[in-house]
Amino acid sequence: MTRTLAVQAAPSPFHFDPARTALVLIDMQRDFVEPGGFGETLGNDVSVLQSVIPPLQAVLADARRRGLMVIHTREGHLPDLSDCPPAKLQRGEPSKRIGDPGPKGRILVRGEYGHDIIDDLAPLPDELVIDKPGKGSFHATGLHDFLVESGITSLIVTGVTTEVCVHTTVREANDRGYECLVLSDCVGSYFPEFQRVALAMISAQGGIFGWVAPSSTYLAALAAADPAFTV
């Protein structure tokens, strides 16, 4: 059964069928949102990303209650770093680069504590976790094939950071025909001006990459459709 809901969004209402929609949480890893990880080695104050967590917890809980598909992603590399481009290996403080030991394990390496998703948003066993070597969630992953097989056509996009992995993923998704709603308070940047401009770039030019709305508006649209509604 097709059931189309509408969310008031920029630049226009976002229409979606929850049965063909996935909530995507991008890179909510300790490496980006907690001290001692990759985000900090790049010179960032990671504490500014903390504000994303409470609204994203609410959106995640709502999706789980309604039975919406939930997908998590993690940026990171194989222990031998064979999937890390040379230029990427050179980024960050010389003493703490990708693969170097840090307080939460080897920085941005799969299987390490710092590479995993924060406890507040930990995936459930039945939720897909996509491990990706790049900024985009489609590059060198099976995400597109999985979404096609699952009949997913719309994505509710959240996570960090807005202008890097969120933007790259939304651009990749848009080119593949997915319709993306980015929840403005559930995505975060280390730079306030990048947060503002990155969101504006998505909805500009008639929604050149997608739609943008606060999570309260998205949740209200689901609740208004049917408070007890499940996919």
Is residue 33 close enough to count as binding ligand TIU by CB under 6 A? no
Site for ligand TIU, residues 151 to 210, rule: CB under 6 A: 160-161, 164-165, 190
AA identity, residue 81? L
11 three-class SS: coil
**Shortest Cβ distance from residue 156 to ligand TIU (Å)?**
17
Is residue 42 close enough to count as binding ligand TIU by CB under 6 A? yes
Is residue 116 close enough to count as binding ligand TIU by CB under 6 A? no
State the number of CA atoms in the 13 A half-sphere of 181 facing the CB. 28
From residue 198, alpha-carbon distances to 25, 84, 192 in Å are 17, 26, 10
Q: Give the other-Cβ count within 10 Å of 192's Cβ.
A: 9
Q: Which of 123, 128, 104 is nearest to 32 (CA)?
A: 104
Q: Which of 77, 87, 88, 90 is nearest to 31 (CA)?
A: 77
Which position among 84, 165, 180, 186 bears the catalytic label?
165
Q: Please name the residues in contact with 89: beta carbons below 8 A apart, sequence gap of 6 or more.
A: 81, 97, 98, 99
Which position among 116, 132, 135, 185 bears the catalytic label?
132
Q: Which two tokens stand for residue 187?
A: 């995505």
84 is catalytic: no
**Shortest Cβ distance from residue 224 to ligand TIU (Å)?**
32
Q: Give the other-Cβ count within 10 Å of 16's Cβ.
A: 23
| Nearer Cβ to ligand TIU (20/77) | 77
| Nearer Cβ to ligand TIU (122/231) | 122
180 is catalytic: no
**Shortest Cβ distance from residue 26 to ligand TIU (Å)?**
6
* Nearest residue to ligand TIU on Cβ basis: 165
| Nearer Cβ to ligand TIU (160/213) | 160
Q: Binding string to ligand TIU for residues 66 to 85, with x set by CB under 6 A, is what?
A: ---------x----------
Catalytic residue positions, numbered: 27, 132, 165
Q: Which residues bind ligand TIU (CB under 6 A)?
A: 27, 32, 42, 75, 135, 160-161, 164-165, 190
